Chains A and B, each alone.
Chain A
Amino acid sequence: MGGVVSRPGLAIPFGRDGGSRFLPALTLLMVFLAGLALAAVMDLERALARWDQSLTGTLTVELPAATGAGDKSLDAALAALRVAPGVTSATPIDSAATAKLVAPWLGASLSPTDLELPRLVDVRLDPAARPDLAALRARLAKAAPGATLDDHQLWLDNLARFARSAELTALGILALIGGVAVISVSFATRTGLAVHHDVIELLHLMGARDGYVARQFERQALRLALIGGAGGLALAVAALLALGHATGAAAFLGERVTLLPTLHLRGWNWAVLAVLPVVAGLVAMATARLTVLATLRRLP
Chain B
Amino acid sequence: MVRFENVGMRYGTGPEVLRDITLRLETGSFHFLTGPSGAGKTSLLRLVYLAERPSRGLISLFGEDLSRLTRAALAPLRRRIGIVFQDFRLIPHLSAFDNVALPLRVAGMAEAKLRDNVREMLEWVGLADKLDARPPTLSGGQQQRVAIARAVVARPKLLIADEPTGNVDDAMAQRLMRLFEELNKLGTTLIIATHNAALARQFGRPVLHLEAGELTAAAAAWAAS
Contacts and interface: CB of A to CB of B under 8 A. Distances in A.
B98 A8 contact: yes
A299 to B, nearest CB: 8
A8 B51 contact: no
Contact of B75 (A2, A4, A207): A207
Interface string B140-168: 00000000000000000000000000000
Contacts of A10: 94
Given A1-B97, A4-B98, A300-B74, A206 B103 contact: yes
Contacts of B71: 297, 300
B79 A2 contact: no
Contacts of A205: 49-51, 78, 83
A161 B71 CA distance: 56
A208 B106 contact: yes
B79 A4 contact: no
10 interchain residue pairs of minimum CB distance: A207-B79, A207-B78, A2-B132, A4-B95, A208-B106, A13-B93, A5-B97, A206-B103, A206-B106, A207-B75
Given A11-B105, A300-B74, 17 more contacts: A2-B131, A4-B93, A4-B132, A5-B132, A8-B98, A11-B91, A11-B98, A13-B92, A16-B93, A198-B89, A202-B91, A204-B78, A207-B76, A207-B77, A208-B106, A209-B72, A297-B71
A297 B76 CA distance: 16
Contacts of A297: 71
22 contacts: A1-B132, A2-B95, A4-B94, A4-B95, A5-B95, A8-B111, A9-B105, A11-B98, A11-B102, A11-B105, A199-B91, A201-B51, A202-B89, A202-B91, A202-B102, A203-B102, A207-B75, A207-B80, A297-B71, A300-B52, A300-B53, A300-B71
A13 B74 CA distance: 26
Interface string A176-209: 0000000000000000000000110111111111
Interface of A: 1-2, 4-5, 8-11, 13, 16, 198-199, 201-209, 212, 297, 300
A9 B105 CA distance: 7
A292 B27 CA distance: 36
A207 B103 contact: yes
Interface in B189-205: none
A212 B71 CA distance: 15
Contacts of A16: 93
A206 B95 contact: no
B134 A206 contact: no
A203 B101 CA distance: 12
Interface in B83-130: 83, 89, 91-95, 97-98, 101-103, 105-107, 111
Interface of B: 49-53, 71-72, 74-81, 83, 89, 91-95, 97-98, 101-103, 105-107, 111, 131-132, 134
Interface of A is mostly: loop
A16 B94 CA distance: 13
Given A300-B50, A300-B52, A1 B89 contact: no
A201 B85 CA distance: 12
Contact of A5 (B49, B81, B91, B131): B131
A5 B98 contact: yes
Interface centre among B49, B51, B92, B98 (most CB of A within 10 A): B98
A9 B107 CA distance: 12
A193 to B, nearest CB: 16
A212 B106 contact: yes
A209 B93 CA distance: 22
Nearest to A16: B93
A201 B93 CA distance: 16
A204 B50 CA distance: 10
Interface centre among A199, A202, A203 (most CB of B within 10 A): A202
Contacts of A300: 50-53, 71, 74
Interface centre among A10, A13, A207, A300 (most CB of B within 10 A): A207
A209 B75 contact: yes
Nearest to A2: B132
Contacts of B106: 203, 206-208, 212
A209 B108 CA distance: 11
Nearest to B82: A206
Given A4-B95, A300-B74, A207 B132 contact: no
A202 B83 CA distance: 10
